[in-house]
């Protein structure tokens, strides 16, 4: 009522104006009650927060992205941003979470597929991923170095085997794909999920585990560098009398196979591929 809201009764108002002003007064009273202790402490420290300022702080709490905001985030960049700015800071955690596992962004299939390639492809992503993607470009470059180094050892062993047996071109390509390309591709996927693992702990009940996951991630990435160095050393030792330049052929073939076969595999793969997950997210969004 007007009296309970503390409105002066002498000035005539329309019913809508009275209701709006009453709601405003009630809102201020509720906020004043909720933050009475905080407000008293702040005034004692000379800050003097008012209910309206407290309400503004409540409005600036972290939140999830809206559908329109998610569509606007379809962008790429050659450099990483330290942190989102402006209103994007409010959904920073949700943005990182969505970039790590979501496929449906703008609702346009081809546009979302190109955005998916820019973020997920192991080579293209080093240059075109989203500036705020949790798999940072430095980590992508590190993953690229590790995968290339580990590719050297099976390449050297493969060359050693070729010295005693003769294979056709088709047999050679198939052997490289099975012995080198597939294992390295699985390793790259594992390094990806390891790099973004801490994102799934932020802003939830597992917030306290974020630093543990981050430390484990850094330890694993550091261990990967050590393994890469050992792999390069063993590769050189396994070559024997062979020309080190002979490594180039199986290495380049393996890298080419990995980057080309990535497109059909991660587009059509059931349950984890872009086509399946994009359609599932679209159906879930329409149902809600």
Confidence tier at 57 by pLDDT (50, 70, 90) = very low
Q: What pLDDT shows up at residue 203?
A: 67
Q: Among 39-48, 92-101, 181-190, 232-241, where is mean pLDDT lowest?
A: 39-48
**Mean pLDDT computed over 55-78:** 76
Alpha carbon separation from 274 to 104, 117, 188 (Å, rounded): 9, 9, 18
Measured distance CA(118)–CA(123) in Å, rounded: 9
pLDDT at 276 over 50: yes
Q: What pLDDT shows up at residue 246?
A: 67
Instruction: Give the list of residues 6+ apart from residue 282 with CB closer than 8 angstroms, or none.
Output: 104, 107
**Mean pLDDT computed over 225-247:** 76
Measured distance CA(150)–CA(144) in Å, rounded: 10
| ∠ Cα 204 206 209 (to 5°) | 140
pLDDT at 187 over 90: no
Measured distance CA(159)–CA(235) in Å, rounded: 10
**Mean pLDDT computed over 130-155:** 85
* Average pLDDT, rounded, for the chain: 76
169-176 and 248-268 helices cross at what angle (nearest 10)?
70
pLDDT at 118 over 90: yes
């Amino acid at each position: 009522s007007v009296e309970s809201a503390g409105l002066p009764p002498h000035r005539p108002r329309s019913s809508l104006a009275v209701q709006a002003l009453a709601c405003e007064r009630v809102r201020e009273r509720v906020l004043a009650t909720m933050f009475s202790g905080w407000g008293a402490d702040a005034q004692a420290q000379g800050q003097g927060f008012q209910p309206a300022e407290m309400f503004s702080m409540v409005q600036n709490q972290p939140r999830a992205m809206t559908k329109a905001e998610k569509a606007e985030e379809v962008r790429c960049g050659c450099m990483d941003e330290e942190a989102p700015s402006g209103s994007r800071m409010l959904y920073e955690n949700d943005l990182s979470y969505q970039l790590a596992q979501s496929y449906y962004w703008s609702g346009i299939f081809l546009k979302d597929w190109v955005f998916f390639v820019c973020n997920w492809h192991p080579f293209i992503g080093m240059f075109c991923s989203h500036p705020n993607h949790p798999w940072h470009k430095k980590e992508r470059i590190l993953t690229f170095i590790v995968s290339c180094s580990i590719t050297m050892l099976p390449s050297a062993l493969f060359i050693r085997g070729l010295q005693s047996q003769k294979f056709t071109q088709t047999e050679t390509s198939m052997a490289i794909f099975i012995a080198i390309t597939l294992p390295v591709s699985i390793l790259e996927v594992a390094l990806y999920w390891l790099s973004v693992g801490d994102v799934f702990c932020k802003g939830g009940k597992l917030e306290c585990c974020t630093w543990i996951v981050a430390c484990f991630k850094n330890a694993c990435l550091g261990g990967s560098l050590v393994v890469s160095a050992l792999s390069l050393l063993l590769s050189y030792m396994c070559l024997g009398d062979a020309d080190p330049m002979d490594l180039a052929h199986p290495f380049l073939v393996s890298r080419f196979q990995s980057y080309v076969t990535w497109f059909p595999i991660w587009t059509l793969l059931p349950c984890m591929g872009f086509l399946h997950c994009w359609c599932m997210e679209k159906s879930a969004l329409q149902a809600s």
